[in-house]
């Protein structure tokens, strides 16, 4: 989003509760309080150098119409380091997707947060154990009830785990019918 002046956008402040990973193991988002912040993966390394879970940060970005997320244009670390999205061309030579071996994984738990792409398209869910479930928008749209906060699900697919988190590209998902009742 290199053409947008971050200073002209609203600022949101909050505490980073966790990072979100894409299927290559790169950080492509974070949870700020209870809100998803999305940013392009070419910012992953710089963000990991300057921001950690527990940090209070500032974010300037755009909110899509249909989702309560922020598509970040800039982030400011607790120490004042400005991380700005200059567009993928700015990092084209230095940003190459890491080669990761995705392994068969499964996860189950309660959905804490629906996950969205930068334009507000449903893309998955964050479980209570911190696992991100990811899927293409067309599949997510058909499974919206499974990806809504409070749903109890079990998912199978292939994923990656690293020091920043765990994400699974979902092949199959089922709702847990014997899940504990919310009290």
**Predicted confidence (pLDDT) per residue in 81-91, tens digit:** 999 998 766 55
65 and 12 in a common domain: yes
Which of 63, 91, 119 represents a domain boundary (last residue)? 91
Question: So what's the pLDDT on residue 179?
Answer: 64
Using DSSP's 3-state secondary structure scheme, residue 120 falls into coil
Q: Is the pLDDT of residue 75 over 50?
A: yes
The range of the structural domain enclosing residue 111 comes to 103-175
CATH number at residue 155: 2.40.50.140
Q: Is the pLDDT of residue 171 over 80?
A: yes
Mean pLDDT, rounded, for 135-140: 96
Asked whether the beta carbons of 126 and 108 are under 8 A apart, the reply is: no
Domain assignment of residue 97, yes or no:
no
The total number of structural domains that make up the chain: 2
Q: Is the pLDDT of residue 92 over 60?
A: no
Mean pLDDT, rounded, for 53-57: 97
Q: Scanning the structure block, which residue is given the tokens 């966790």?
A: 18
Domain assignment of residue 98, yes or no:
no
109 and 86 in a common domain: no
Q: Give dist(CA 182, CA 57) in Å, integer.
A: 32
| Strand 35-38 relative to strand 69-76, pairing | parallel
44 and 116 in a common domain: no
Domain assignment of residue 20, yes or no:
yes
Q: What is the pTM of this model?
A: 0.88
64 and 34 in a common domain: yes
Question: So what's the pLDDT on residue 102?
Answer: 87
30 and 87 in a common domain: yes
Which of 39, 68, 91 represents a domain boundary (last residue)? 91
Q: Is the pLDDT of residue 183 over 50?
A: no
Average pLDDT, the chain: 91
The runs of H, that is alpha helices, within the chain are 44-50, 137-142
Which of 91, 126, 141 represents a domain boundary (last residue)? 91
Asked whether the beta carbons of 27 and 48 are under 8 A apart, the reply is: yes
Asked whether the beta carbons of 2 and 81 are under 8 A apart, the reply is: no
Greater model confidence, 111 or 99:
111
Question: So what's the pLDDT on residue 97?
Answer: 65
Q: Which helix (H) or strand (E) holds 129?
A: none
């Amino acid at each position: 989003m290199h053409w947008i002046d971050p200073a002209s956008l609203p600022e949101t402040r909050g505490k980073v509760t966790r990072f979100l990973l894409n299927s290559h193991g790169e950080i492509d988002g974070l949870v700020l309080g209870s809100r998803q912040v999305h940013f392009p993966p070419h910012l992953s390394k710089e963000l990991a150098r300057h921001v950690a879970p527990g940090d209070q940060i500032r974010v300037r970005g755009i909110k899509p119409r249909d989702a309560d997320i922020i598509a970040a244009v800039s982030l400011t670390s607790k120490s004042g380091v400005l991380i700005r999205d200059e567009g993928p061309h700015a990092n084209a030579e230095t940003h190459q997707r890491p080669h990761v071996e995705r392994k068969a994984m499964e996860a189950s738990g309660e959905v804490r947060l629906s996950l969205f792409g930068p334009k507000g398209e449903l893309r998955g869910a964050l479980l209570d154990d911190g696992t991100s479930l990811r899927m293409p928008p067309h599949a997510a749209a058909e499974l919206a009830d499974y990806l809504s906060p409070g749903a109890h699900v079990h998912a199978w697919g292939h994923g990656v785990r690293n020091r920043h988190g765990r994400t699974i590209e979902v092949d199959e998902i089922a709702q847990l019918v014997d899940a504990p009742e919310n009290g």
